[in-house]
Each structure stands twice: as C-alpha cells, then as structure tokens.
Amino acid sequence: MTLIECVPNFSEGRRPEVVDEIVAAIAAVDGVSLLDRQSDPAHNRSVVTFAGLHAAVAEGAFRGVAAAVRLIDLTEHEGAHPRMGAADVVPFVPLKSGDMSVCVDVAHAVGARIAGELGVPVYFYEEAARREERRDLAAVREGQFEGLREAIARDPARAPDEGAPAVHPTAGATAVGARAPLIAYNIDLESRDLALAQAIARAIRERDGGLPRVKALGLALDDCVQVSMNLTDYRVTSMEDVYAAVRARAREAGVEIRRSEVVGLVPQEALVRLARSALRANGFTAAQVLEARILDTLL
C-alpha cells in the first residue's frame, strides 16, 4: 500500500453547508486524513486536501465526487474560476518520488467508477492522460461546462476517456489526473482592469513564452482583478519569482499589488527556498525547521 494525496476542486464556495457535506463524505472513509479545506466565494470553488493509503484515498475521492454530483447544479453556478464539473478536477499526488505510477492507476480506477456509477463523463489529464493533447488541464476544460455541453457529442476530439459522450445534466464532466505537487498562488491587483490581469497572465505563463512551469489566468473578482496561477514546479519558478514578475508588469501600468494568497497546502521545501532567497540565508535548510526536526525524530 502506498501513501498518496488527493486535492479535489469542487464548484461550490458560497454554501458552507454543501461543502461540509462533501468534506464529511470524504472524511468518513477509514484511513483518510483530512489535511485542509478552503472555500473562495468569488471563485465559487472549494479545494479539499486529504491523504492516506491509496485505497482509502481512492474511496474518499469517489465519495466526495458522488456528494458533489448530488449537491451541485452547474446550470445555476456562477464564479470567476473556469469549471466544467461539479467535481471539477480530482488530482492524485504522490508523496514520495517513484510513486507516480500508483497515482496514475488510482486515477484511472476512480475515473472509471465516476463514469460508470455516477454517469459523469471523465477526462484524464497530466500523467494520467491517455492522449498527449489532454495532458494540459486548460485544453481539457476548454469551453467550460456550457461549451462542453454542446461539443462533447458532435466533436470526436472532445469525446471523454470514460463514459458516454454527454455531460451530466447538472454535474457536467470531471477531469481526473495524476500530477506532482504544485502551488496554487493568486495575486490580486489594485485595479478592476480585467484586460490588464489577462495581459499579465499571458506574459508570465509558460505556454505563451513566459516563466517555465507557470500556468496563469486573469480573472475578475468582485472589487479587483486577479492573476491566478499554478506553479507546477516550484524548484524551477518560485512564488517569489512570479510575485516579482507580476509586480513589475503591474507597475508598468501604474497599478500596485493589493495582496497575494496561497490556496491549499504547499511543500515545506518551497517555503524553505523562499525564506532562503528572501532573507539571503543561503545555508538555511529544512533541518532548521522546528516541526520538521520533531517529525523526523519521532517518526
């Protein structure tokens, strides 16, 4: 048995009672350790993080998706973040190097159950992708729920990996994947200029020639705009790197950063690297982190 993590994103961030029920379904599985939950009303999205032995995590993920399918209606959903499903993305993450193949197997098994038992079509992405063009989540989610609802049956390129070529009428479709740990990091600007946020996102993201291992979108929130990012390898591009890049481009337009936020959990090593750089503490290591040393001693 292998210890893995799962970080599903659900298309609900405004009704805490609904998120509570989804989280309770996950946590009820014996062997699942709930690590974190965060909800964002502007994005209308919640991120849940849990870990355990892979069989328990697989069951927890399926039960969380089943609850979301029952409780979330995408025909009534609005939010800043792109989405195509009530359970929008379900990534499995190895906690040790060499365990990615286990996460791929779990993703395929859980995806088959979601399609077969819940009637929700499934697309596999990142390391679990069965087609190279579906490795990128943005390509899988193109058109979101409304666009996919029209394209899935008529365009063979949009046929799901599991399930019938028709979205679930209220729960849409789900992307199930296996990936390395990433950092979800957002920067809000002192501006309502969506075009500016989108231009900055294009300038810094890898697919348009920007920073390596960075995915970015410009989004409109209630009272400002946001550059929303996934850093898929913090060892290549750090939070400090993208903060500096966004700040520089915003200042060129006469705009300052209002705040930034980390969504979900981050690897300890990413924070150690950040502290090392920000403090110019070149010799600082994880061995100097009190909690890390205690855990290393006790476990």
Ordered alpha helix ranges (H), 28-143: 54-71, 100-118, 137-140
Percent of the chain at pLDDT above 90?
88
pLDDT at 79: 95
> What's this model's pTM, rounded to 2 decimal places?
0.87
Active site residue 43: no
Contact 57, 79 (CB under 8 A): no
Tokens 């609900």 belong to: 12
Kindly state the average pLDDT of the residues 3-7.
96
What does the DSSP 8-state code read for residue 270?
Answer: H
At the top level of CATH, the class of 3-178 is: alpha beta
Averaged pLDDT, 19-39: 97
Give per-residue pLDDT as tens, 123-174. Answer: 999 999 999 999 999 999 999 999 999 999 999 999 999 999 999 999 999 9
Report whether pLDDT(112) > 90.
yes
Q: Which residue spans of the chain are classified as CATH 3.30.990.10?
A: 3-178
pLDDT of residue 291: 80
**Least confident span in 59-73, 151-165, 271-285:** 271-285
User: Does residue 201 contact residue 114 with C-beta atoms inside 8 Å?
Assistant: no
pLDDT of 26: 98
Average the pLDDT over each of 29-38, 63-72, 184-193, 290-299 and give the range with the smallest value.
290-299
pLDDT band at 287 (very low <50, low <70, confident <90, very high): confident
Rounded distance, CA 64 to CA 168, Å? Answer: 16
Distance CA 196, CA 37 (A): 30
**What is the per-residue DSSP string for 125-136?**
EETT-SSGGGSS
Q: What percent of the chain has pLDDT over 70?
A: 99
Residue type at 23 in one-letter notation: V
State the architecture of 183-265 in CATH terms.
Answer: 2-Layer Sandwich (3.30)
Instruction: Note the pLDDT of residue 295.
Output: 72
Q: Which pLDDT tens digit goes with each residue over 222-276?
A: 999 999 999 999 999 999 999 999 999 999 999 999 999 999 889 888 999 999 9
Average pLDDT score over residue span 28-52 = 96
Dist. CA 71–CA 171, nearest whole Å: 9
Instruction: Name the residue among 90, 111, 6 with its Cα closest to residue 54.
Output: 6
Tokens 């890898």 appear where?
206
Q: Render pLDDT for 97-106 as a digit per residue (tens, 0 to 9).
A: 789 999 999 9
188/68 Cα distance (integer angstroms): 28
Which tokens hold the place of 50?
């849990």
Say yes or no to pLDDT of 284 above 70.
Answer: yes
CATH 3.30.70.670 maps onto the chain at: 183-265
- Among residues 43, 54, 77, 81, the one annotated as catalytic is 81
Paired with 185 in beta bridges are 229, 262
Mean pLDDT of the chain: 95
Q: Say if residue 299's pLDDT is above 60.
A: no
Provide mean pLDDT across the span 46-71.
98
Residue 298 scores a pLDDT above 70:
no
Q: Say if CB 239 and CB 230 are below 8 A apart.
A: no
Sheet holding 257-263, edge to edge: 214-220, 225-231, 183-189, 257-263
d(CA 73, CA 55): 29
H/E element, 174: strand 174-178
